[in-house]
Amino acid sequence: MVLVYDFDDREREADMTIASQFITADALRTMRHDAGGLVCTTTPNRIAAELGLPFLSDVFWDARKKYPLLESMAPNDIPYDNTKSSFGVTINHRKTYTGITDADRALTISEYVKTIFGDSPTEQKIRELGANFRAPGHVHLLNTTKNILKTRRGHTELCTALMYMAGVHPSATLCEMMGDNGGATNKACVMEYAEKNDMQFITGDEIIEAWDEYLERTGADL
């Protein structure tokens, strides 16, 4: 796992991050104990669009005529972001029980990643997602925006970009690091934790610099 701090002028938070394909119950336990925020799993925008995995804000917006309160609750005033929330739907694998245990969430995440990055045609992946997962559930999906780190620079995009550059499936499972004072763990404490636990501490600025070089070198359109 690595620790990703975004920016001093944004959330000012660090997320504990791991490539979703390597998630385990032990990793989730570490996230719960040492990070303490919300565990989420990212999906690249292009894949989410192909499979019909929506932004949750779009689902709520489309349902506003039936549930008018949803329109007035639209996330159009996020103080650190000019784009909509990256939250997607929530899921459980159908072989889980409650879905919230470390083992259950590890199963949901690992099977989700196997499915969306598999070699099957898109229509088959859609059928497999419907057959093997239920929604809502206990794993929160996050969809990246188009043009990663160009249109939005949140942890969803920062951590997904890391996975692209690492050559693994471009999905990150992440969890915000919370402090004992009820707020986010401050930057200095996160750096201290990283050193103590032999983890890498990476800033958003470092990721963006590397990402720009990656796109120039590969010509990737992400």
Active site residue 214: no
> Where does residue 126 rank: exposed (0-12), middle (13-18), buried (19+ CB within 10 A)?
middle
Q: Is residue 33 annotated as a catalytic residue, yes or no?
A: no
Give the integer Cα–Cα distance in Å for 155 and 85: 11
Closest CA to 30 of 102, 131, 134: 102
Strand order through the sheet with 172-176: 87-93, 133-143, 40-43, 172-176, 14-19, 2-5, 200-203
Please provide residue 127's backbone torsions phi and psi, each rounded to the nearest 5 degrees.
-65, -40
Active site residue 169: no
Is 15 labeled as catalytic in the residue annotation? yes
What's the Cα-to-Cα distance from 47 to each of 37, 60, 125, rounded to whole Å? Answer: 26, 21, 11
Please identify which of the residues 45, 140, 176, 193 carries the catalytic annotation: 176
Q: Annotated catalytic residue: which of 13, 40, 45, 140? A: 40
Q: Which of 62, 80, 147, 206 is catalytic?
A: 80
Annotated catalytic residue 205: no
Q: Which of 15, 104, 111, 157 is catalytic?
A: 15
| Nearest alpha-carbon partner for 42 in 178, 158, 207, 212 | 158
- φ, ψ of residue 95 to 5 degrees: the values are -90, 0
State the catalytic residue, choosing from 5, 92, 143, 157: 92
> Of the residues 81, 138, 186, 214, which is catalytic?
138
Catalytic residues: 15, 40, 80, 92, 138, 176
